[in-house]
């Protein structure tokens, strides 16, 4: 990106600071040559995620650099060899030495300027209102990835804030069942988000072919989503948009290798419930307290995960309707009638616990994992192959007995209510909050163009 143009990622936080900071044992630590007064001095540097620390064992306070969204470049010196240059908010820090491993660790948090030097585009695999998704090859080793390309000229102020928040959250992710960012590039016109390429497509497309799953098949998928959400919640983040369109299969037909995607509506949990998008999500999947403008917490993801389990077993959602208003109204009330289904006692118990409209009584994810349904299928899973194909799953229901018993609710928490004054809009990164609207996978999908639908709020 040319120096005379302002970066999309500019912000006012200082580049370098000095304060007391803990040094973790597993952090990268090495010595490098740092230029100072036309000379080079040996300095010990420590890399802890998005912080580069100038370590001095004799000092209690350490000088460090916040490298988030810094411009990252490999540089060369005739005597020192290769080095790393970091530039942010008018400041620069450069160091020389054996930097290859450090560069690979830093690029997740920083911005690089020359996408076309590192990757070549293979094909267009998806297109939405704000971004195009391409299959790409890394030039150095020909490994394939996906890249999401945003045109900066069409992103408005609110769109910019939402994209910056999503990039921030995705960089924190490091779990086999959660999507993340490999690296980020920027030039004068575009933002490039490089991500892993998943070949299996979206779960909802498999549901169109298979219609329903057996209880064991549904467990294999939901168990991975639960583990993904436990990890996401451990970072203090709410996902807020759990649905089949946002579950990606790593390989076609393999359901025990899925990834939770689309963090466009995700945000850090706040006790006061003052989020960038407060009333948001997909009608038919969101927890009722979110639609009721009440303060909510991590249990909204439990409810949505319960709707996902229901969808896998039944072939449609509990609130599905051809009428948008009816869907929102039913979702607002949040009551799901399970009396007509002949699922096993364990399955019914779990569905009741996850889909309880009262968040005080709703299961936590710990309770979900301790449920008899999970325990039974976890025992079975340990006795079968590690890669389960769709063809090996019986799509008819398991042996089923109706249980009239209600789930044992173990947790009761106080939850204050607060009315929201405004109806918030969905993320600009993905399809609008509209019933049955196309939703482009953030990683992979068929070559198609989603209609340019206006973004609409959930309205009741």
2 pLDDT band, cuts 50/70/90, is low
| Residue 335 C-beta-side C-alpha neighbours within 13 Å | 3
In whole angstroms, what is the distance from residue 278 CA to residue 25 CA? Answer: 39
End-to-end CA distance of the chain: 45
- The reported pLDDT for the residue numbered 380 is 66
List, for residues 38-80, the tens digit of each pLDDT value. Answer: 899 999 999 999 999 999 888 888 999 999 999 999 999 999 9
8 A C-beta contact, residue 411 and residue 367: yes
pLDDT of 419 > 60? The answer is: no
Q: Report the pLDDT value the prediction gives residue 399, as an integer from 0 to 100.
A: 35
Tell me if the domain spanning 16-110 has CATH number 3.40.50.150. no
CB atoms within 10 A of CB 409: 15
Q: Is the pLDDT of residue 171 over 90?
A: yes
Residues taking part in catalysis: 241
In which band, very low, low, confident or very high, does the pLDDT at 450 lie, cut at 50, 70 and 90? very low
Q: Where do the domains of the chain lie?
A: 16-110, 115-195, 203-392
CB atoms within 10 A of CB 11: 10
The predicted structure's pLDDT at residue 434: 27
Q: Report whether 380 contacts 216 (CB < 8 A).
A: yes
Chain centre distance of CA 134: 19
**Average of pLDDT values for 225-238?**
98
Please tell me if the domain spanning 16-110 has the same topology as the one spanning 115-195.
no
pLDDT digits (tens, 9 = 90+) for 91-112: 999 999 999 999 999 999 999 9
pLDDT score of 405: 31
Residue 384 confidence (pLDDT): 53
3-class DSSP state for residue 111? Answer: strand
Name the pLDDT band for 5 (thresholds 50, 70, 90).
low
In angstroms, the CA 150 to CA 8 distance is: 11
CA distance 190 to 170: 19
User: Does CATH number 3.40.50.720 belong to domain 115-195?
Assistant: no
- 3-state helix vs strand vs coil in the chain, percent to 5: 25, 25, 50
Residue-level pLDDT at 207: 84
Q: Binding site, residues?
A: 156
CA pair distance 155, 159, nearest whole angstrom: 5
Residues 299, 419: Cα–Cα separation, whole Å: 19
Q: Predicted confidence band at 382 (pLDDT cuts at 50, 70, 90)?
A: low
Residues tagged in the binding site annotation for ATP? 156
Please check whether residue 302 is in contact with residue 368, taking contact to mean a CB–CB distance below 8 angstroms. Answer: yes
Residue 392 has pLDDT above 70, yes or no: no
CA 75 to chain centre: 33
User: Dihedrals φ, ψ of 396, to 5°?
Assistant: -85, 160
* Buried/exposed code over 79-104 (b: 16+ C-beta within 10 A; e: otherwise): ebeebbebbbbeeebbbbbebeebbe
Question: Residue 370: in which H helix or E strand, if any?
Answer: none
- What's residue 26's pLDDT? 86
pLDDT for res 1: 66
Q: What digits encode the pLDDT tens for the residues 324-339? A: 999 999 999 999 999 9
pLDDT given for residue 422 in this prediction: 25
Confirm if 377 and 350 have CB atoms less than 8 A apart.
Answer: no
Output the pLDDT for position 367. 97
Q: Residue 427: is its pLDDT beyond 90?
A: no
Q: What is the pLDDT of residue 126?
A: 85
Q: Which tokens sit at 47?
A: 């890399």
- As given in the structure block, the two tokens for residue 423 are 């109806």
DSSP letter assigned to residue 101: H
Report the C-alpha gap between 291 and 277 in whole angstroms.
12
Task: Give the pLDDT confidence score for residue 179 in this predicted structure.
Answer: 95
Q: Work out the angle at residue 390's Cα, subtended by the Cα atoms of residues 388 and 392, and round it to the nearest 5 degrees.
A: 65
203-392: CATH topology is: Transferase(Phosphotransferase); domain 1 (1.10.510)
Count of CB atoms situated within 10 Å of the CB of 15: 18
The model's confidence at residue 131, banded by pLDDT at 50, 70 and 90, is confident
Q: Would the CA dihedral through 430, 436, 438, 442 be positive or negative?
A: positive
pLDDT digits (tens, 9 = 90+) for 250-301: 998 889 899 999 998 999 999 999 888 888 999 999 999 999 999 999 999 9
Tokens 């949040």 sit on residue = 334
Written as six digits, the tokens of 35 are: 């230029």
């Amino acid at each position: 990106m040319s120096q005379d143009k302002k970066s999309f990622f500019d912000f006012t936080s200082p580049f370098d600071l000095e304060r007391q900071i803990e040094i973790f044992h597993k952090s990268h630590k090495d010595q490098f040559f740092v230029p100072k007064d036309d000379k080079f001095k040996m300095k010990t540097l420590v890399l802890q995620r998005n912080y580069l620390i100038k370590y001095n064992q004799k000092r209690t306070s350490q000088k460090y650099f916040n490298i988030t969204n810094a411009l990252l470049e490999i540089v060369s010196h005739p005597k020192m060899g290769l080095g790393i240059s970091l530039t942010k908010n008018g400041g620069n820090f450069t160091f020389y030495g054996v930097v290859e491993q450090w560069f690979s660790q830093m690029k997740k948090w920083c911005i690089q300027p020359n996408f076309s030097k590192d990757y070549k585009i293979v094909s267009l695999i998806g297109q939405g209102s704000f971004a195009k998704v391409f299959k790409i090859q890394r030039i150095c080793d020909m490994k394939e990835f996906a890249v999401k390309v945003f045109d900066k000229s069409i992103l408005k102020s609110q769109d910019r804030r939402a994209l910056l928040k999503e990039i921030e959250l995705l960089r924190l992710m490091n779990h086999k069942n959660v999507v993340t960012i490999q690296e980020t590039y920027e030039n004068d016109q575009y933002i490039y988000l490089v991500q892993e390429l998943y070949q299996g497509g979206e779960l909802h497309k498999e549901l169109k072919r298979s219609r329903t799953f057996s209880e064991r098949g549904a467990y294999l998928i939901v168990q991975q989503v639960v583990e993904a959400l436990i990890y996401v919640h451990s970072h203090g983040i709410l996902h807020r948009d759990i649905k089949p369109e946002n579950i990606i299969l790593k390989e076609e037909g393999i359901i025990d290798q899925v990834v939770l995607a689309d963090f466009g509506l995700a945000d850090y949990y706040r006790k006061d419930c003052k989020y960038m998008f407060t009333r948001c999500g997909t009608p038919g999947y969101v927890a009722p307290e979110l639609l009721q403008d009440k303060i909510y917490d991590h249990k909204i993801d439990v409810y949505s995960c319960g709707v996902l389990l229901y969808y896998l077993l039944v072939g449609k959602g509990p609130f599905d309707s051809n009428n948008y208003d009816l869907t929102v109204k039913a979702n607002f009330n949040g009551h799901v009638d399970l009396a007509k289904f002949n699922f096993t006692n364990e399955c019914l118990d779990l569905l009741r616990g996850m889909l309880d409209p009262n968040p005080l009584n709703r299961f936590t994810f710990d309770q979900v994992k301790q449920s008899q349904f999970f325990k039974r299928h976890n025992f079975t899973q340990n006795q079968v192959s590690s890669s389960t194909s769709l063809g090996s799953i019986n799509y008819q229901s398991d042996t089923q007995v109706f249980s009239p018993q209600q789930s044992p609710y173990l947790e009761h928490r106080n939850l204050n209510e607060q009315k929201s004054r405004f109806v918030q809009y969905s993320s600009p990164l993905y399809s609008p909050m509209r019933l049955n609207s196309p939703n482009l996978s953030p990683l992979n999908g068929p070559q198609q163009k989603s209609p340019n639908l206006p973004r609409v709020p959930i309205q009741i």
